[in-house]
Structure 1
Amino acid sequence: MDINRIFEITTSSQFNKLALEVFNFQYDNNTIYRNFCGYLGKSKSNVTTVKDIPYLPIEFFKSKKVVTKNQKPQIVFESSGTTGQIVSKHYVSQLAIYVKSYLKTFEYFYGNIEDYCVLALLPSYMEREGSSLIYMVKDLIKKSRHPKSGFYLDNKVDLLKTLISLDQSAGKSILIGVSYALLDLSEHHSINLKNTIIMETGGMKGRRTELVRDELHSILKKSFGLAAIHSEYGMTELLSQAYSKANGIFNCPPWMSVSIRETEDPLTTETFGKIGGINIIDLANIYSCSFIATQDLGRVYKDGSFEVLGRFDHSDVRGCNLMVL
């Protein structure tokens, strides 16, 4: 397939047509996905619309090598996990697709990366190998070409001084941080920012008590003097990200879409505004699987935007026979 077509999508009809092409390609070339479709009675002959496409449970990335065309991986991204826990692995055969996806996504939502100073506060991710988030942020820092772009870990005083200095210079700055680290920073000192974006990537990583997004954003807005907190939604198993510029409402780039499945019946789609499991189509996942049933709970709105409301626990999962194929 011509990969460039993925990043040239501008309409829903283009997306739907290409999604069906990708389904056919992955059905033919991804043994894990084809076998999964077979157990559901799905094949190229009866998948004729996007709504017919089966979504592979994300747990398969923990137990199987989910690849299309079985190319040798250039890099393997791994999810975080506690000692002894099985982690997800995403075998990426063409790293350039990931790079193109996150750069075009950033440009789609925020403009030219060279217009920004990029600061990162991601200590838990820095402590392990194989983080797709760290790979992306490192590259954004490099491509920003700003002398003060970089990672900050324990020196919160220096980070606050840098934030204030950059903000007063009236240039664009963005601080990307894991939730618990941003909370730690917010408790260290309160400042008023006007030209800075604070973006949380979620996650307390066991370091602090979990907070609902509204509570987290309320604390951060007050501490940083901002009207809104931005958010990034991504995961090891995807090569694309969604972004929220306010209120936890996310939007996708044109080659990615989100739908909701019923919690009681994972093969049935929920209507707009209803809470259920988040299904994702990420066409950038051309050489793994583009159709993923996540463990996140959320709701989707008619304009295609969505919000994340939590995660399934094991007692929430229905249709468990599908998980042991």
Structure 2
Amino acid sequence: MRPDSINIISDLLSFIEGNDDPLFNETALKLFRFQFQYNLPYKKFCQTKRKTPLTIKNWQQIPPIPIQGFKELTLACEPPEEAEAVFMTSGTTNPNAKGKNYHPTLAVWDASMKGPFKKFVLPDVEKMTIFVLSPAADLNQNSSLSRYLSNAVTYFGTANSRFFFSEAGLDMGAVAAALKECEARGEAVLLMGATFAYVHLLDYFHEQKCRFRLAKGSRIFDTGGFKGQAREVEMEQLYKMFAEFFDVERNMVINMYGMTELSSQIYDQTILSTYENGQTIFAKAGPAWVKTVILDTDTLEPVSDGKVGVIAHYDLANWNSCLAILTEDIGYRTEHGFVLLGRVQGSEARGCSIAVDQLLQSNRG
């Protein structure tokens, strides 16, 4: 790697270790200068908006790149062929157009995952028995979620932790047997998996007439959306089923918001707030090196708290691609964080569509 990259990595690891929010603006501006210099497609996009390191004085002025750019362009400061890992989107919309995020080293990605997981998911315990319901890194090396799940077990799992997904799929019978054993021992367990994995698992438990009374302190972690190929399930409906089948109440259920295009994750504050003050906060929050802003869907200018808009994230851990990402999600801010409402639809996407057009036009030829 070039010396500038090594220096950036060192700065970011120090920021993450110190959780140093006052340095966010300074670090973001330094990182923007780095990306403007070495990430040519992003530089061209910024130039169309007349945004350069000379004109930007605050991190909120940094242009967020539409996530569509990760599908259409190679967004990397270091040579992509030298990446230690390449995380790809699932390509459910278009299998031939998968978004790619190149990681010359996973040191920053891993550091960004570890501390917030402990803070938001396990604020009250050092380790826990973790049962993983989705593919781990050995089955899908191009999945950021798979690495995330494997890291969770490596960093925070007890010796009884297990992975239940293989090339044959999810072994639901083995999950049921393992949960019964934990129930009998009074051992708390953390279930982790993609949201829709639970739908199929609960269907199986319903057919088998399985119910569990998991030990106090047990919790359920899900990530991803609530739409599957088979049918759509409402979030609150699924969470009620968690209480029915596992005896795990809503305040011990946590949804993680993550995406391939980012290098950090954002969490419900359910478990953390319950542990800290006994009040359940559902709004999502992230670590100090991630800032989330809500933008007007037409103008892409910041909106006031409570007003619905498109979500943009500023993630310092995204050092090799673009620290500022314009998502296709909508939500609104509260005093505690932000609430995710779903995907941008139809006419709501005007500002996003204009940004995508600007990105692609600036990189033609």
Calculate the TM-score normalised by the size of structure 2.
Answer: 0.80
Is 1:98 the counterpart of 2:109 in the alignment? Answer: yes
Instruction: Report if aligned partners of 2:268, 2:282 keep a CA contact under 8 Å in 1.
Output: yes
Equivalent positions of 1:283-298 (< 5 A) are 283-298=316-331
Instruction: Report if aligned partners of 2:294, 2:331 keep a CA contact under 8 Å in 1.
Output: yes
1:163 is aligned to 179
Equivalent position to 2:283, from 249, 256, 267: 249
Larger radius of gyration: 2
> 1:155-205 deviations in whole A, cap 9, x for unaligned?
323212322433554544211122222122233133222231111112356
Question: What is the identity, as a one-letter code, of the residue corresponding to 1:257?
Answer: K
2:218 is aligned to 196
2:233 is aligned to 211
Q: Distance in 2 between matches of 1:17 and 1:212?
A: 41
Measured after TM superposition, the shift of residue 91 of structure 1 is 0.7
Q: Distance in 1 between matches of 2:213 and 2:302?
A: 44
Unpaired runs of at least 5, structure 2: 1-7, 271-280
Give the alignment's Cα RMSD to 1 decimal: 2.6
Is 1:234 the counterpart of 2:243 in the alignment? Answer: no
Moved more, 80-89 or 288-297: 80-89
1:143 is aligned to 155
Q: Distance in 2 between matches of 1:145 and 1:128?
A: 20
Instruction: Report if aligned partners of 1:9, 1:255 keep a CA contact under 8 Å in 2.
Output: no
2:31 is aligned to 22
Measured after TM superposition, the shift of residue 313 of structure 1 is 3.6
> 1:99-135 deviations in whole A, cap 9, x for unaligned?
1111122123225986111211115998755111101
Q: Distance in 2 between matches of 1:164 and 1:134?
A: 26
Instruction: Report if aligned partners of 2:89, 2:99 keep a CA contact under 8 Å in 1.
Output: yes
2:305 is aligned to 272
Q: Distance in 1 between matches of 2:150 and 2:135?
A: 13
1:46 is aligned to 55
Instruction: Report if aligned partners of 2:257, 2:267 keep a CA contact under 8 Å in 1.
Output: yes
Q: Distance in 1 between matches of 2:70 and 2:333?
A: 25
Unpaired runs of at least 5, structure 1: none
Is 1:89 the counterpart of 2:100 in the alignment? Answer: yes
The total of aligned residue pairs comes to: 323
> Taking every aligned residue pair, what percent have the same amino acid on both sides?
28
Equivalent position to 1:132, from 144, 147, 150: 144
* Structure-2 change in CA distance of 1:22 and 1:105 (3 Å): same
Equivalent position to 2:193, from 155, 167, 177: 177
Q: Distance in 2 between matches of 1:69 and 1:122?
A: 31
